[in-house]
A and B are shown apart, each in its own frame.
Chain A
Amino acid sequence: MPSQAGRLRAGHRTAMLPYLLMLPALLLLVGMLYPFCLGVYYSLTSYFLQYPHLFRFIGLGNYVKLPGDPLFAYSVQFTLVYTAVAVLIQVSLGVGVALLLHARIVGRGVLRAMMLMPLMMPPVITALMWKVMMASTKAGILNYLLGLVGLGPVNWLGSVNGAIVSVLIIDTWGNLPFVSLILLGGLQSLPYEPYEAAFVDGAGSVEVFRYITLPLLKPFIILATTFRVMDSLRIFDVIYATTVGGPADATMNLHMRAFFYAFQWYQMGMGMAYAMVLLALVFVASYVLMGYWRRAAEQTEL
């Protein structure tokens, strides 16, 4: 039987243990925080890469200029609206696809393996792939196929609305598998009992879906939504490889704007200010959504 002192010492050690275990990860975290703080600092300076003599601390000077920037309001609006629409579409379709993958059909395994393929592609390459298909209105395969069924050619990347839709399509193609697979896992982990009871009661499949499946899936839906909201707010690679913010700045979201300032015009201060605004948006959204998710997970008590 360990002595009183021994037990105290052991208790002491145990108290330190979690922190020690976290130490390597914490070190890396500090390593990541440092550039971040540096970035915040740069957003408070007038940092032009080409004019080092203009560098000085200007406090909130860059942020004050933001509302005056003709495109700031549009980029915020576009970022938010795009996220809302994209996530709505992707999660709705995701539920459908998940149901499909869950159904007892032949070749289910192959189907699921196939769904993983778009996930494996780097977004840049996905976008370039689609650009090849959407590129010109006569040589593009998409318009050719549309023509075969009698639909007119679509100006995918060269018109204001077409560009937004194109980005949406490419984004959805690349990320629908992710949403579907999360929801599929959810479907696979649902308990039997409610369904048995519903079967006994003679409920139709639509009612089963609405009153049993959907509520039970809620935490998974929220989780998938959280992921997609985070990623859609920050979407970059797809836009960069296809429309580069155009045409007429139609697809210029906050991330693209930050990129333009930083790497096209070498104005690091403004670029970082934009990045910080985006970061704040993502942070708020993640905090809110994580709260929802925790509550939904507790409710369904899986």
Chain B
Amino acid sequence: MTVLRELWVGHPARLTRLLRVGLLGLAVIALVVWTVFPFFWILLTSLKQPLDVIAAPPKILFEPTLDNYAGIFIGRQRGAYASARPDFPLFFLNSIIISGGAVLLSFLAGIPASFALARYRFQFKEQLAFLFMSFRFAPFIAFLIPLYILFQRTGLYNTYHGLILAYQIITLPFTIWMLRSFFMEIPTEVEEAAKIDGCSWWGVLTKVILPLSLPGMAVTLILGFMFSWNAFNYPLMLAGRQTFPVTVGAIQFISYEQVLWGQMAAASLVAVVPQLILSLFVQKYIVRGLTMGAIR
């Protein structure tokens, strides 16, 4: 330590800069490896033939194959494994319908609610806000059993609308909370101006608030879509074969005979693709959005 200190005193600027650059570089490399390596390994696994998957020591160089991807899409495979079923595209579609529908419904209910919470004062306002929020923190088990029984009795089981309603537990609190923060961000002067011009609350909402919070809404939409997409436990019990999303579909590759690691890896990657694409488009906004929500 004293050596460093002496060096520091001697050549402070150069040394500190070198150290800084070196440390920064190391940190960046560490971060990249830590984040990306699992993806890399899964990609490799999805391209491996069964023997290569179980090889010990693990293989980094091998003869790649597209059989796993073929297997999950077309359901038949040359090679060692018996067929997986060609249901994966259906699961994909289900995920899109359910997640999209859930977020849409949350927005339809959430926009007016957030507007009310952001701009008006009324009784029980904070309590209601907290109540909405607290649902985000409930363990799924607390809801799953009664929901399952309710769904069976009311015929909502294994339906798109049933699942979209169930997913509100995931998306609605989040949507209201985020939108409320974004709406509160907007300075009241603009609204005052609009009101002087004669706008009713509807005008204020549609002409001022919504346009100004478009980026925030986009972020909320995307994050909400993501949370729904990743849900596993609700659809496992509340969906049937026709409405399973990809998260449930991915576990089908735990076969009795052998875990089809290759196919599971392929399925996992495919399941993640839409969100990866989305995130590339909007990463700037997500960062801003996450924190705008934070300020309130």
* Chain A stretch 38-89: residues in CB contact (< 8 A) with chain B: 38-39, 42
Q: How far is the CB of A290 from chain B (nearest CB, A)?
A: 7
27 contacts between A and B (CB under 8 A): A21-B116, A23-B112, A28-B168, A29-B172, A32-B169, A39-B143, A39-B145, A111-B32, A113-B279, A116-B279, A117-B279, A120-B275, A122-B232, A122-B271, A123-B232, A128-B251, A139-B56, A173-B34, A185-B287, A185-B288, A185-B294, A236-B139, A236-B140, A272-B141, A272-B145, A275-B142, A282-B137
* B287 and A105 form a contact (CB under 8 A): no
A100 in contact with B27 given A25-B172, A132-B265 (CB within 8 Å) = yes
Q: Which of A157-165, A191-199, A207-215, A254-262 contacts B (4 or more CB under 8 A)?
A: A254-262
| Binding site secondary structure of chain B | helix
A282 in contact with B132 given A139-B56, A188-B291 (CB within 8 Å) = no
* Chain B stretch 127-143: residues in CB contact (< 8 A) with chain A: 128, 130-143
Q: Which residues on the A side are within 8 Å of B146 (C-beta)?
A: 35-36, 38-39, 42
Report Cα–Cα, A114/B279, bound state, in Å. 9
* A18 and B116 form a contact (CB under 8 A): yes
Q: How far is the CB of B289 from chain A (nearest CB, A)?
A: 8
Nearest neighbor of B251 in chain A, beta-carbon distance? A124
* A36 and B134 form a contact (CB under 8 A): no
Report Cα–Cα, A123/B48, bound state, in Å. 23
- What residues make up the interface of A, taking CB atoms closer than 8 Å to B? 15, 17-19, 21-29, 31-32, 34-36, 38-39, 42, 96-97, 100, 103, 105, 109, 111-126, 128-130, 132-133, 136, 138-141, 144, 173, 177-178, 181-182, 184-186, 188-189, 219-220, 223, 230, 234, 236-237, 254-255, 258-259, 262, 268, 271-272, 274-276, 278-279, 282-283, 286, 290, 297, 302
Q: Which residues on the B side are within 8 Å of A138 (C-beta)?
A: 56-57
Report Cα–Cα, A117/B214, bound state, in Å. 24
Q: Which residues on the A side are within 8 Å of B109 (C-beta)?
A: 24-25, 27-28
Q: How far is the CB of A217 from chain B (nearest CB, A)?
A: 10
Q: Which residues on the B side are within 8 Å of A189 (C-beta)?
A: 291, 295
User: Does chain A have a CB within 8 A of B61?
Assistant: no
Report Cα–Cα, A23/B116, bound state, in Å. 10
- B226 touches which one: A23, A26, A120, A128 (CB < 8 A)? A120
* B292 and A185 form a contact (CB under 8 A): yes
Q: Which residues on the B side are within 8 Å of A124 (C-beta)?
A: 232, 247, 250-251
* Chain B stretch 242-293: residues in CB contact (< 8 A) with chain A: 247, 250-251, 261, 264-265, 268, 271-272, 275-276, 279-280, 283-284, 286-288, 290-292
Report Cα–Cα, A188/B292, bound state, in Å. 11
Q: How many of chain B's residues touch chain A, expressed as a range?
A: 35 or more
- What residues make up the interface of B, taking CB atoms closer than 8 Å to A? 24, 27-28, 31-32, 34-36, 38-39, 41-42, 45, 54-58, 105, 108-110, 112-113, 115-117, 120-122, 125, 128, 130-147, 149-150, 165, 168-169, 172, 176, 201, 226, 229-233, 247, 250-251, 261, 264-265, 268, 271-272, 275-276, 279-280, 283-284, 286-288, 290-292, 294-296
Q: How far is the CB of A150 from chain B (nearest CB, A)?
A: 15
- A38 touches which one: B136, B138, B150, B294 (CB < 8 A)? B150
Among B36, B265, B290, max chain A CB count under 10 A is at B290
